[in-house]
A and B are shown apart, each in its own frame.
Chain A
Amino acid sequence: MARDDQQDLGDGRLGVAAGEAGTAPDRAALAMRAFSVKKRFLAMYKRANAGHIGSALSCAELLVLLKFAWMRDEDTFILSKGHAVAALYSVLAEANILDPHLLDTFYGEGTLLPALPPVNGISEIPFATGSLGHGLSLCAGMALGAALKGRPRGFFCLTSDGELDAGSTWEAALFVAHRKLTNLVWLIDRNRIQGMGGTEEVLALEPLPDKLASFGFHVVEADGHDFASLLAAREACRKAQAAGTAPVAIIANTIKGHGIRYMQDTVASHYLPMNDAQYRQAQDELASAYGAATGRDAR
């Protein structure tokens, strides 16, 4: 498989040369969006006394990148890892697509915003997901449907790494590669944690880049929390899409519970809500990190 645009990290993993894509103001704007989105969903989780926080923190930058620096209005996104939907609701509110007041109803009785994506409730969420292993097939069907109609739309699917256990994901991967659905971008939130432990302990996925490449994907690897790296991945992806020879899979190396020390890289961050002290700590740590990165006082 073609893997130009990438540098060999020497340990079998491939990475995109970071730091070149996007201007500094671009990256600062995205960082500000990500900070705002995280504040929104932390407040949602606290108000709802709910879990799946680690899952949302794992992919917040990816969702911000897609919404604010990649997707066009006519493009479609499927969050196959539906457990992180609080991050998606927050991004949609951030983009003024969803009424921010609706976020206050998250988890509430009679809400339009359940803990996993709703059925047919929000036009930007075409499918209720979270039953793992469906998203890539659904996205492939939509991508093929648009291609058959000659419509130049883009389709993006974010899966977790845990759902790579599902055979249906690999059925979809075979199909996407076989049909060369280059209007589809498969992003993998590679935080290496699944329901009951590490992915490599539960059901090993490595060498994941080689597996994807052997299926026929053009594989791009990125730091899923660094906008310079993500923007470089976007450019590598666009170049590969222009070549049109293979669909692209982006492995975003991430950290579950990223940015909150007590949550980072823990299984517990998938499940446990925050108490008052933990919520204050989470807010403080996010603000400090944002302030340190931008030189602004975020509190």
Chain B
Amino acid sequence: MRDEFVHALIALRERRSDLLFMTGDVGYLAIEALAATFGDRFINTGVAEQNMVSLAAGLAREGHLPWLYSIAPFVVLRPYEQIRTDVCLHKLPVKLVGNGGGYGYGIMGATHHALEDIGAMRVLPNMRVYVPLTASDVGQAVALMAADPLANYLRLNSVLPIPDQVAAFAPWRRLKPGRSTVVVGAGPVLANIYELADPDLLGELELWAAGTFPLEDLPRELLTSIQAKRRVVTIEEHYGAGGLGEALGQALLSQGLCPPSFTSLHAAGYPSGRYGSQRWHQEECGLAGAGLRARLQKVVRG
């Protein structure tokens, strides 16, 4: 998604003169085109993310639209108080972009993973989180963020192919119908279900993608499906605490819906203390491969 982000911002730059791109000294062989396009509006602040965020708040206050890029934990967690106080409390449109959401940085290990970023961001006032599913989502999300008066966090991740036709990026999208169970996912980890290549299982699952946090305006079709099927699964490359499962559960309860079967599939950190690729970590948590199949089958069979 990183390349798509770079292309989207370059395209946006042609339409808007107020954009600024700021990096915390990351993006080698990835963002050079941005440097060339943005000129003096490309700012490498060095490995100093707290300063980068407060600078961005000051720049936004002066009428600029800053986009801040780094590896997800470094743009979200390191400067967290600056995001809360300088950006969100002051309702400033600062755009945070984190590469490698979830286990995206794979073998780089735990310091470079972001398993709590959505939770950390979605509790902040005046903040909206964007979680693309596909490569083409990224450009559409960037366009929506540019028009969003709030602060935003864009969670970039590695994409997987989705065989179904996917509509343009939106807070809620139904990817396919299914017989018995509603599955709501955030981000490309949802595509791991297609990858199981299990037509019987897939036929049971109605798949939805949640694209923004906080969860707002749950579509009538989703609520109706949940009411009818009474089985809900959430899937996310994020800890359970603060993630999609908690958010959807609360949203359903506030609508008077309490499905008797509600299963949250989420990241579990590092249960074995061993490291591997993004895919390896997903499998270890049952978010991909045989573990994911077994968990979904268990729900479907009731």
Contacts and interface: CB of A to CB of B under 8 A. Distances in A.
Nearest to A172: B51
A119 B89 contact: yes
A131 B81 contact: yes
Main secondary structure of the interface of A (DSSP, over half): helix
Measured as residues with beta carbon below 8 angstroms from the partner, the interface class of chain B is 20 to 34
A127 B57 contact: yes
A131 B85 contact: yes
A171 B90 contact: no
B54 A134 contact: yes
Contact of A174 (B20, B48, B85): B48
B90 A127 contact: yes
A178 B63 CA distance: 23
B63 A138 contact: no
Given A128-B85, A148-B40, A149-B63, A142 B58 contact: yes
B46 A141 contact: no
B38 to A, nearest CB: 11
B74 to A, nearest CB: 13
Main secondary structure of the interface of B (DSSP, over half): helix
Contact of B55 (A119, A127, A149, A175): A175
Nearest to A126: B61
B55 A134 contact: no
Contacts of A127: 57-58, 61, 86, 90
A145 B51 contact: no
Given A120-B91, A148-B41, A149-B63, A172 B85 contact: no
B70 interface: no
B64 A138 contact: no
Between A120, A138, A146, A174, the greatest number of chain B beta carbons within 10 A of the residue's beta carbon is seen for A138
Interface of B: 20, 40-41, 43, 45-46, 48, 50-51, 53-64, 81-82, 85-86, 89-91
22 contacts: A119-B89, A127-B90, A131-B85, A134-B54, A134-B85, A137-B54, A137-B58, A139-B58, A141-B56, A141-B58, A143-B58, A145-B63, A145-B64, A148-B40, A148-B64, A149-B63, A171-B48, A172-B51, A172-B54, A175-B46, A175-B48, A175-B51
Q: Enumerate the 6 nearest inter-chain pairs by beta-carbon distance, A residue then B residue, closest first.
A: A141-B58, A145-B62, A137-B54, A171-B51, A141-B55, A171-B48
